[in-house]
Every structure is written in structure tokens, then in C-alpha cells.
Amino acid sequence: MNTDSSSQSSQSGNRTVLLIDDEQMVLEVGKAILQRLGHEVVTAESGEEALEKFDQWKDAIGCVVLDLTMPGMGGKKTFGRLRELAPGLPIIISSGLSIEQMAGQFEAGPTTAFIQKPYQVAELSSTIQNIFKSAGC
């Protein structure tokens, strides 16, 4: 994995990202990558916790990275609730599924992007940049 993010950090902008995943290792690695890119990170291990964190941090959160497959309130339901609460919020859906499999489950739009796990620094950085650009942020 390319961990040289010095040039990417200034390009991706400093925004707070809500990172949602039920796997602790993915949260730790994802948080480290996002912090290297210059973002503040709020983490949640479930859809329910994500909605609580979003309510607490809603004025600061500029983007969500959402795991598709989680026990309890899964990614699809969490996505729907976040869209109800903040229709224009940029959301990146992440999964081990292919991009085509993920995209078929969600309505495409300028504030929805997809990324396949495991994350690569450059791919996550460009996905965040692109979704902010598409959302007009």
C-alpha cells in the first residue's frame, strides 16, 4: 500500500469523515488512512451507532464512508436513514463486493460513490476528492 500522502493531503481537503464499519481492523486502518489524508475522523461500529454519532457531529461531518454489510442495521438501511437526515451528504459505500454489485443496490447520484475493500490510500483519496467535487463542496 502506498502510504505517501503528503501531496494527497493538501488535495483532499480537511473535512470530518464519519467512518462506519463493524470490523475493528477496518476502522483502525481506515481511520489511519483518512487522518494521513488530513481528515478528522469519527468512527462507528454499527448503523445505530452511526446515526447517534451523525446526530452529535452533523454540523462537522462532510462525508460518510459506509460499510455495506453489517449486522443489525445494515449499510443499505443506514444509507437510507442518512439520506433522510441529510439528502446532500456525500456517502461512499464500501464493501468487499464489486463496484457493479454495490452500484446495483443504490440509486446513483453526485453524492454517492463506491469503493471496494481493502482500501488503498490513493483510491480512497481520489474517491473522497471526486465525491466532494461532484457534490459541489
Angle between helices 47-57 and 75-85 (to 10 degrees): 20
Confidence band of 102 (pLDDT split at 50, 70, 90): low
Q: What is the pLDDT of residue 1?
A: 36
B/e letters for 10-46, b = 16+ CB within 10 Å, e = fewer, are eebeebebbbbbbeeebbebbbebbebbbbebbbbbb
To the nearest whole number, what is the mean pLDDT of the chain?
A: 85
Q: What is the H or E stretch that residue 95 is in?
A: strand 91-95
Banded model confidence at residue 109, pLDDT cuts 50, 70, 90? confident
pLDDT band, residue 6 (cuts 50/70/90) = very low
For residue 132, the model assigns a pLDDT of: 84
Q: Which residue has the higher pLDDT, 33 or 11?
A: 33
Q: For the whole model, what pTM was predicted?
A: 0.85
Cα atoms found within 13 Å of the Cα of residue 35, Cβ hemisphere only:
9
pLDDT band, very low/low/confident/very high, at 40 (cuts 50, 70, 90): very high
53/50 Cα distance (integer angstroms):
5
Give yes or no for residue 11 having a pLDDT over 70: no
Which domains are present in the chain?
A: 13-135 (3.40.50.2300)
- Kindly list the distances between the CA atom of residue 57 and the CA atoms of 20, 41, 44, 64, 93, in Å, as whole numbers in the listed order: 14, 11, 12, 12, 19
